[in-house]
Amino acid sequence: MTKTQDIRDAVDLELTYDPLVDMSDITVKNLNGEVALNGTVPSFPQYLEAAAAAQRVSGVKNVHNHLEVVLPTGDYRDDPALTTMANNALTLNITVPDGVEATAKDGNLTLTGTVSYGAERTAAEDTVAGLTGVRNLSDYIEISNDADPVDVTAYVQDALDRYALIPDDSDVTVDTDGNAVTLSGHVRTWAEHDAVVDAAWMAVGVYNVYDNLYVTG
């Protein structure tokens, strides 16, 4: 059996194993670790989870998520109802600052507003992603605070040095331009990749993270 077949079969098995994914309408293709997911899923959380499941598989270098969310009839919400649901959820979540707003169009949610940290923007995404009726999510939330960007590189590098998932001999480099961080280098797995990106977003003073990391698989 070829390595291509091995990886594709392993992704199939992981999708089947994951209780949060219904893979009955998902097909998997693989070319040298570049995995494509095609087909449909019945919810946006399943859309996200299918990609996360594929990324967990050894040998996967990238996941191209071409899945379409096709809502069951009972899960459909019109634009005013979904907009109200999303904004109520944002208001009730203490980790999401005031001023973040959601707007729905055909099941596609758009987030706008301003927060102080990347973690707050992530919290806003997580708050609405699992709502019934969501088909897709676009995040246009801006990050702005008074932190001095001079120490951003040190903050991020120190976080990487602390993280257990990142080996001591990692060649990941952190470059900053004002409040923007560029990550470069190699990581072994998507779990390691996500740990590096999350570390960058958590640093005070980071407004943007440019991900040039290469997953070796």
What whole-number distance in Å separates Cα of residue 101 and Cα of residue 119?
Answer: 16
Reported pTM: 0.86
Question: Do the Cβ atoms of 205 and 148 come closer than 8 Å?
Answer: yes
State yes or no: pLDDT of 156 exceeds 90.
Answer: no
Q: How does residue 1 score in pLDDT terms, banded at 50, 70 and 90?
A: very low
Domain total for the chain? Answer: 3
Residue at which a domain ends, from 101, 126, 143: 143
Specify the pLDDT at position 159.
Answer: 87
Phi-psi region of 86 (alpha: psi -120 to 50; beta: other; left: phi over 0): alpha
Average pLDDT in the 129-135 region? 97
Q: CATH no. for residue 38?
A: 3.30.1340.30
CA dihedral for 87, 92, 96, 99, sign (positive or negative): positive
Dihedral (Cα; 40, 44, 48, 51), 10-degree rounding: 0
Range of the domain at 108: 76-143
169-196 tens-digit pLDDT: 889 999 988 888 999 999 999 999 999 9
Q: Are 164 and 210 contained in the same domain?
A: yes
Q: Are 87 and 53 contained in the same domain?
A: no
Contacts of 184 (CB under 8 A, 6+ apart): 172, 173, 175, 212, 213
Residue at which a domain ends, from 52, 69, 86: 69
Question: Do the Cβ atoms of 53 and 18 come closer than 8 Å?
Answer: yes
Q: Are 60 and 83 contained in the same domain?
A: no
Question: Do the Cβ atoms of 143 and 100 come closer than 8 Å?
Answer: no
Count CB-CB contacts under 10 A for residue 149. 16
The better pLDDT of the pair 42, 154 is held by: 42
Q: Are 91 and 51 contained in the same domain?
A: no
Q: Are 106 and 127 contained in the same domain?
A: yes
Q: CATH no. for residue 121?
A: 3.30.1340
The better pLDDT of the pair 113, 166 is held by: 113
What whole-number distance in Å separates Cα of residue 24 and Cα of residue 133?
Answer: 20
